[in-house]
Amino acid sequence: MRLETRKATVVGSGIMGSGIAQVIAQAGIPVSVYDSFPEALQKGESSIRNSLARMLKSGKIKEEDVNSIMGRINFTGSLDEALKDSDIAIEAVPEILDLKKDVFSKIEKTASPTCILATNTSNIRITEIAESLKNPERLVGMHFFNPPVLMKLIEVIKGEKTAESAFQYVYDFSRKLGKTAIKVNRDTAGFVVNRISAPESLFFALIVDRKMDRPEAVDAFAKSQGLPMGPYELMDYVGVDTVYHSLEYYAREIDPDYGKAKLIENMINEKKLGLKTGHGFYQWENGKAKIPKAEPSTAVEILDIFALEINEAVRLIEDNVADPADIEKGFCLGMNRPFGPISVAENLTNREVKERLEQIHSRFGINVFKPAKSIEEGKLKEVIKGKPKQKQAPSRETSSEDNLLNIVREGHVVRFELNNGKNNLLNSKVLDALKNAVEEIWNDRGIRVVVVAGSGNVFSAGAELTQYIPDAFDFMEHSRKGERIFRLLSEMPKIVIAEMRKYALGGGFELSLNCDIRISTPECLVGFPEVTLGLLPGWSGSQRLSKLVGMSRATALILTGEKFTGSKAFEYGIVYRTYDDSQIKEKTMEFAAELARTVSPVAAALSKRLINKGSEVPMDVGLEMESIAMGTIYTSHDFMEGISAFVQKRSPEYKFN
């Protein structure tokens, strides 16, 4: 069992090899780069130096960092020298099976018996490459994405004979490099990201193959949907030959239908490979495609793309290739997309996905496009949730909805801590977790005060805008959902305190406005930036802020998108108290405990309702409500206890009745 990596080796000094070596060196690990071609080594070294120069210019590293990073990289034409004392050897040669087999045969003969072997293949099954090895249990897939220095994802793939210890070592090593690693537990062509993209690559190849529309029109459609690059521009960018060889490989390994795109095959014969040859689907100049202007295509709908991605993701789950969370994470990072097939599937019905896949299959007659078994059987929602987790015994500190909300109880106080990344962004799952937590303690008489805070040092920077929402009606319902869940906080029979740190923006600010009392750090950044993003405060902010600070100030703050500090929020009357960041958690919890001890729960609950409902009705109605509340509280234990404690000069012992 390796606890650390003392030295690594990269075999191949091309774009991927040199990039991988730079990543390793930047992580503080010595690395040798081997290539049998001296000019390739020189080009690799130059590539790393140029990359570091760009990082230096942008301020990401310092001058001394450049020297120390380069000092950890050894370029050599000797395989023996490169592999000496290495704990891991990573192959990064072209995507040719026989070449990879030959390279690993040589590595195995030279490397230490304990050296882990890793391949940077992007499509080829690890089990096939391992056929050349006497000890195939040493080989693990370690798929970096291009460019390795910038892309955060590494797919770690387990071959049929890969040892569990080697698999875990490469996973841990990937994380030590500062990357996000996902586990591919079963060897399959294309692994996760490329496998999910494969059906749509075939789909778009067939669109032009059958003259359903022009590449520029389809690309215009893709960009109109917010995708960073259209499918044909992307094919040109990565190389039409790369796409062709991948489809050719999938035709052998997965389904012969992947080999039915003839136009791409003709482009290979004509050397129209895209960026690398200057011509593919488009002409390329200075690294940019010259794409003719065109109206967005009507031959493609966004649901076509999503349905194909969901379908292949479901197949991966069915085959136990990877779990839903890793599939989602990997696809988002590997494709530089804000959401992946799992989150899209959560917002669609099984029927919608199935019917769209059946339409695509009928349109093209391609088996790859048929609905996966789980979708055919109506089990989409079930399969994307993965295996159910075992319930754990309750404890003082619990969590809900996949750890998106930490719940900590301290006496009569409960603390809800948002736990969704460093900025605690709010999405449907976070809202659901908050709703469940509120409903769970609503009638819990042992809890009198609720503190809503953020884990780490951030309250919430707002809504997760990258969440996939299918259409305008669903977006409206998403707004209603947030409004109603937040309103539960204002209506629950407890005192609710918002602890605002670093950011309380957009939806995060709205969350705080639905709490009864706000406590903030002086420097916390507060505000509604929605109008600068083409949005508006949609979780009750447009209504609640004006009730707190008046229509004039609320109008100005919302229409300008101004961000202001916790100190200014205190001046505006939004915030009740401010504390330094180092003290705010302790002081807020002390304040909550004090309220739980000294304030009658019944009086607090009725007062909240009078304040909130009274602001929505005429004065006479509000006064009538107030007198009824007074009559109700007169017969309560809390009223009797409060008066007795006052007369006897002791602390009251309230019982919430």
Residue 240's domain comprises 193-300
The pLDDT mean for the chain works out to 91
List beta partners, residue 117.
Answer: 89, 139
Q: What is the pLDDT of residue 656?
A: 59
Q: Are residues 44 and 66 part of one domain?
A: yes
pLDDT number for residue 2: 52
For the residues 448-457, what does the mean pLDDT come to?
Answer: 94
Q: Which CATH number is 153's domain given?
A: 3.40.50.720
Q: Do 141 and 271 sit in the same domain of this protein?
A: no
The residues annotated with a catalytic role in the active site are 510, 530
pLDDT the model gives residue 389: 38
Instruction: Specify the number of domains making up the chain.
Output: 5
453 with 368, same domain?
Answer: no
386 exposure class (CB count in 10 Å sphere: 0-12, 13-18, 19+): middle
> What is d(CA 34, CA 41) in angstroms, rounded to the nearest whole number?
7
| 476 and 526 housed in the same domain | yes
Q: 112 is written with which tokens?
A: 């230490």
Single out the residue of 307, 352, 343 nearest to residue 325, CA to CA: 343
Q: Residues 242-247: contacts with CB within 8 Å, 24+ apart? A: 242/95, 243/201, 243/205, 244/268, 245/95, 246/122, 246/123, 246/190, 246/194, 246/198, 246/201, 247/198, 247/201, 247/202, 247/205
Each residue of 174-196: pLDDT tens digit? 999 999 999 999 999 999 999 99
- The per-residue pLDDT for range 228-280, each reduced to its tens digit, is 789 999 999 989 998 999 999 999 999 999 999 888 999 999 999 999 999 99
End residue of a domain, out of 334, 349, 384: 384
In terms of DSSP H, where are the helices of 319-455?
324-335, 341-346, 350-364, 373-376, 380-384, 428-441
- Please give the pLDDT value at position 647: 79
Edge-to-edge strand ranges of the sheet holding 405-410:
397-400, 405-410, 413-418, 449-454, 495-500, 517-520, 577-578
Give the pLDDT mean for 607-618.
84
The reply to whether 291 and 259 lie within a common domain is yes
CATH number, domain containing residue 326: 1.10.1040.10
Judgement on whether residues 179 and 245 belong to the same structural domain of the protein: no
**315 within domain boundaries:** yes
**Percentage, residues of the chain above pLDDT 70:** 97
Predicted pLDDT of residue 225: 82
pLDDT tens-digit series, residues 352-400: 999 999 999 999 999 999 999 999 999 999 999 875 333 333 344 454 5
Torsions phi, psi for 220 (to 5 deg): -65, -40
The yes-or-no verdict on residue 46 having pLDDT over 70 is: yes
Give the residue among 269, 270, 342 at the shortest CA–CA distance from 310. 342
Q: Does residue 201 sit in the same domain as residue 167? A: no
428 & 540 share domain: yes
- Domain identity same for 344 and 406: no
